[in-house]
Structure 1
Amino acid sequence: MSVTGILGKKIGMTQVFDEKGEVHPITVLQAGPCVITQLKTAAKDGYDAAQIGLVEFVKASKVTKPLQGHFAKNNVPPVKLLKEVPVEVAAKKPAEGEESSNGAVKAGDKVLVDIFSDEKYVDVVGTSKGRGFAGVVRRHNFGGGPKSHGHMFQVQGSIGASSFPSRVFPGQRMPGHMGVDRVTVRNLRIRGIDIEENLIMVEGAVPGPRDGYVLISKAKAPPRERRGFAGSGTVDPLKASKKASAKKK
């Protein structure tokens, strides 16, 4: 049994070059360290999960009495952020003489970035930047009106008919609060892992500002690797058909 996710922070963006000399934009994430503060079991809670907390300095006055008792129950340090992540059972069976790994995870164990050592993609959940009250041009990418003198470019305009239906339909795109939403970006390719500094580099952008908290988890539906694509194992359909016809003869 192992934990499938970890809490972290967004450090910033940069770029790296691969072996072919191609440049890739990446986001650097501080993944952990985290600690397991509680284990949920199907027998007791109805589902299997692990409650993890990001290990950061927290003043004792900022921790409520219920949380103090919760941390003391499992003898873990106070943490600033708590999240629940799924746990997965190891697919391979233990060899003879080895103990099963189902009981390996317990409250108080550390969760580090090395859980992604064998992974190629991750899903990242973060909170988008707050933009305040925004108009339709910025919020919904409307084209706006004429930009000539005497016109108001960023005004939405008419939003409904007069006689029928004499109302505004639900879901009408209008000005309003923009940002501060929970955003999930799936299948970000891992470009590097620094186990000593607890850093993970993923290709692409991650929602939220710098020093924003994120939840990094193993990809639920990673993309399939295309067979024979851009490599020495590429199959030429013409040669393959000639080879197959020669075998039939």
Structure 2
Amino acid sequence: MPGIIGKKVGMTSVYDENGKNVACTLIQAGPCVVTQVKTEDTDGYKAIQVAFGEKKEKNTSKAMLGHFKKADIAPKRKLVEFRDFEGEFALGDTLTIEKIFEVGEFVDVVGTSKGKGFQGVVKRHGFGGVGQSTHGQHNRQRHPGAIGACSYPSRVFKGLRMAGRTGNERVKVDNLRVLKIYPEQNLIVVSGAVPGAKNSYVIIEK
């Protein structure tokens, strides 16, 4: 499963071949550098580690400086492993979007969703509130209402939907179509929305 690391630029829209306006996301993907090649003999599994994004040496630990020195590259900010890849890769190889993806194919995008902080049940789980007269409350809008039964089971079941921290979670969106690729600018345009805020790191997988 080859892939590449990118940074979300923002959303826009393009017209497809049928003249339909399609919402899409613009991602600056790569170039990424192979910083480690893992094999079954040395590590117990087969994978490649790729890096993306510049980082100052003063903000990099000595252990990571030595790690990047093996690949003869400057320190990088984001490291990701990819397993089940096709082809042979060597330490220091550069991965670009035109080598991995083609226009028209479908990709999966992984990112960290926007953090919303502590939210109530209406925003977090879509509870109806007083208007729909659900969950036990009768005069308090946006409240959770009753949360458990009586003498049996005499407890609240695990996983009950309640207020709490919302967002800031790893989210994977499947089957986004590659609409356009701009190799000169290292830009890729995929259909639909991608998790995360602008300038956040995302992982694009086949």
Are residue 47 (structure 1) and residue 45 (structure 2) matched? yes
SS in structure 1 of the partner of residue 124 of structure 2 = helix
Per the TM alignment, residue 111 of structure 1 is displaced from its structure 2 partner at its CA by 0.9
Change (3 A) 1:156 1:209: same
Partner of 1:202: 190
Confirm whether residue 24 of structure 1 aligns to residue 9 of structure 2.
Answer: no
TM-score, normalised to structure 2's length?
A: 0.92
Number of the residue aligned with 2:153:
165
- The verdict on how the C-alpha distance between 1:119 and 1:44 changes in structure 2, with shifts beyond 3 A counting, is farther
Q: Which structure has the highest strand share of the two?
A: 2
After superposing on structure 2, the runs of 4+ consecutive aligned residues of structure 1 that deviate more than 3 Å are none
Distance verdict in 2 for CA 1:44–1:119, change over 3 Å: farther
**Shift in Å, 1:176:** 0.5
Specify every segment of 5 or more residues in structure 2 that has no aligned partner in the other structure, as ranges.
Answer: 133-137
Q: Which residue in the other structure is 2:33 paired with?
A: 35
Distance of 1:146 and 1:197 partners within structure 2 = 51
DSSP 3-state at the match of 2:130: coil
**Deviation of residue 195 (structure 1)?**
0.5
Report the AA paired with residue 108 of structure 1: G
Q: 2:67 is matched by which residue type in structure 1?
A: H
* Bigger relative contact order, structure 1 or 2 (CA pairs below 8 A, ≥6 apart): 2
- The percentage of counterpart residues that share the same residue type is 49
The superposition leaves residues 69-107 of structure 1 with CA deviations (integer Å, 9 ceiling, x where unpaired) of 1111221210011110125235xxxxxxxxxxx4xx111
Number of residue-to-residue matches in the alignment: 200
Note closer, same or farther for the CA distance 1:206–1:52 as it changes in structure 2 (3 Å cut).
same
1:161 deviation in Å? Answer: 1.5
SS at match of 2:127: coil
SS in 2 for 1:77: coil
Change (3 A) 1:107 1:124: same
Distance in 1 between the 2:86 and 2:114 partners? 36
Residue 181 of structure 2: aligned partner: 193
Q: 2: CA distance between counterparts of 1:138 and 1:51?
A: 38
Give the AA of the match of 2:107.
V
CA distance in 1, matches of 2:52, 2:165: 30
Give 1:1-249 correspondences, 5 Å limit: 4-56=2-54, 58-90=55-87, 102=88, 105-114=89-98, 115-117=100-102, 120-146=105-131, 151-218=139-206
TM-score calculated relative to the size of structure 1: 0.77
RMSD (Å) for aligned C-alpha atoms: 1.7
Query: The residue matched to 2:152 in structure 1 has which SS?
Result: coil
Aligned-pair CA distance for 1:118: 6.6
